[in-house]
Amino acid sequence: MEWEAVIGLEIHAELETNSKMFCRCPVVDVTVADPNTAVCVVCTGQPGVLPVINRRAVEFAIMVGLALNCEIADFNKFDRKNYFYPDLPKGYQISQYDYPIAKNGYLMIDLPDGSTKRIRIRRAHLEEDTAKNTHLSDGTSLVDFNRSGIPLLEIVTEPDIHSAEEAEAFGRKLRAILQYLGVNSGDMSKGVLRMEPNISVRPMGSDELRTRTEVKNLNSIRNMFRASEEEIKRQIKVWEAGGAVEQETRGWDEVRQTTVLQRSKESAHDYRYFPEPDLPVLHIAREWVEEIRARMPELPDAKRERYLGGYGLGAYDAGVLVADRAIGDYFEAAVKAGGDPKTVANWITGQIFRLMNQSGLEREQINEIPITPETLVALIGLIDNNTINNNTAKRVLDILYAEGGDPAAIVKAHGLAQETDTSILQQAIDDVLQANPSEIERWKNGEEKVAKFLMGQVMRALGGKADAQLIQQLLQESLTNFG
């Protein structure tokens, strides 16, 4: 039987405001800051304190809602979601239950085959993050309240996603939008962005919704893709063996590359939601929404159109360049520095990505490489003015990537400038032809490819540092004139 996956995503995105959701504590990088240094009586849940809504967090949520084509609610209410856990000092989380700030939207995702697909967004609501528990091997548990109260936007999709590839495409597009809006760094390894797929499978062609599992603790989009893939396979196996998939929360075992049971279905959620009595109802004025809409930054789809039209890039390059805001910024800085758009795009998506992959850098970390956009343009300039050829430029790029510095200076220090003195080039050609009389015979008998071999020999004799076109031209002439 053929099976179809059904996936809905729940995403938690911390909003990178200056202060927390309901208090004045700064929002810090919890993977770096000393524990419990950004805390106060409000975010540690002391009795008698009052929360105050962070206006900027609401504004960020509206921006995300608009970018996801949602209706922005006029009437907003906060609710208490009650449960006990050591990372939740109040015994409840302030969230939005029946009146989320945004709902009924959609996101167009870009699939690997070049097609697009619309994924409906059910809702997005504001809440506060919990503290962070760390469990040590000796049985001790530590709580860091720096994260407690950081603004959090929970985004929930409809179950419109039907493969691990689509889940990945959704994740990439959403992350790009959050980065473009400047509301979230997108760094899943730090936990500031968390994506949890709800997964079920059903016979292809049916529209039933079978029991789903939820996969948590995915620290990268790559892992979300892999976990979805494996979980889909696992469920198909269960059904095909005559069993039934249980509703449960599963985690991702990176080492074994498989999903593992974390906890089985908890008794039906009973959070005893009720309206947060310490916060007023929040009305969002239409004028405010329109004012925010008017100053929304350019988003990935619009940027891609601009790259396709204005810069004449191909669809693939344009898609890759806009997929991470940092890459697009790098590309545009290089073009601004005088680089030819197509050439710059090639160098970024080819050589620079190769080097970044080798050193394990994510695309959004392009600003951390020791090659600035201006340096890249300077390197391309050395090819354009025939100082070095393409292959040498790749060597220079490797050196730049390792050590930084100035391309021209590196060419000089390493003696990489190409030989342009035609008498020296001609000498090298003559030497090679002298040494290969039988190849010349074959060439004369019409074996064109021999020229390529001879070309390689000449290039090698010159240490790879020569203008390939010039050599080809000289070689062709020499061959014709020879004997």
Q: By CB under 5 A, name the binding residues for Zn ion.
A: 23, 25, 40, 42-43
Report, in angstroms and rounded to the nearest whole number, the Rg of the chain calculated over CA atoms.
Answer: 29
Stretch that binds ligand ADP, among 4-12, 312-320, 337-345, 349-357 (CB under 6 A): 4-12
What is the C-alpha to C-alpha distance for residues 398 and 404, in angstroms, rounded to an integer? 9
* Residue 123 touching ligand ADP (CB under 6 A): no
Contacting residues for 122 by C-beta, under 8 A, at least 6 apart = 8, 103, 104, 156, 157, 158
Q: Rule CB under 6 A: is residue 236 a binding residue for ligand ADP?
A: no
The residues pairing with 250 across neighbouring beta strands, listed in sequence order, are: 215, 261
100 near ligand ADP, rule: CB under 6 A: no
6-65 residues in contact with ligand ADP (CB under 6 A) are: 6-10
Q: Which does 25 bind (CB under 5 to 8 A by kind): ligand ADP, Zn ion, none?
A: Zn ion
CB of 24 to Zn ion, least distance (A): 7
CA gap 163, 417 in Å, rounded: 51
* Residue 7 interface partner, choices ligand ADP, Zn ion, none, CB cut-off 5-8 Å depending on type: ligand ADP
Taking CB under 6 A as the rule, does residue 235 contact ligand ADP? no
Cβ 159 to Zn ion shortest distance, Å: 37
Q: Which is nearer to Zn ion, 39 or 355 (CB)?
A: 39
Based on CB atoms, which residue is closest to Zn ion, 23 or 429? Answer: 23
Q: Count Cβ atoms below 10 Å from residue 300 Cβ, excluding itself.
A: 24
Q: What are the phi and psi torsion angles at 261 (to 5°)?
A: -65, 130
Residue in the structure block whose two tokens are 């504004």: 59
- Residue 209 near which of ligand ADP, Zn ion, none (CB within 5-8 Å, type-dependent): ligand ADP
Tokens 């989380």 identify what position? 93
Sign of the C-alpha dihedral computed for residues 352, 187, 119 and 244 taken in this order: positive
Sign of CA dihedral 147, 148, 154, 159: positive
Please report how close the Cβ of residue 166 comes to Zn ion at its closest, in angstroms. Answer: 39
Q: Please report how close the Cβ of residue 286 comes to ligand ADP at its closest, in angstroms.
A: 28
CB of 247 vs ligand ADP, minimal distance in Å: 9
Which residue of 71, 87, 158, 301 would you call a contact of ligand ADP, by CB under 6 A?
158
Residue 209 touching ligand ADP (CB under 6 A): yes
Examine residue 194 and tell whether it contacts ligand ADP (CB under 6 A): no
Q: How far is the CB of 284 from ligand ADP (least distance, A)?
A: 23
40 neighbors 208 (Cβ within 8 angstroms): no
Q: What is the DSSP track for 314-331?
A: -HHHHHHHHSSHHHHHHH
Distance from C-alpha of 307 to C-alpha of 314, rounded to nearest angstrom: 8
Q: What are phi and psi of 399, to 5 degrees?
A: -65, -45
359 CB neighbour count, 10 Å cutoff: 11
Residue among 36 and 262 whose Cβ is closer to Zn ion: 36
200 binds ligand ADP (CB under 6 A): yes
Binding region for ligand ADP (CB under 6 A): 6-10, 156-159, 198-200, 209-210, 212
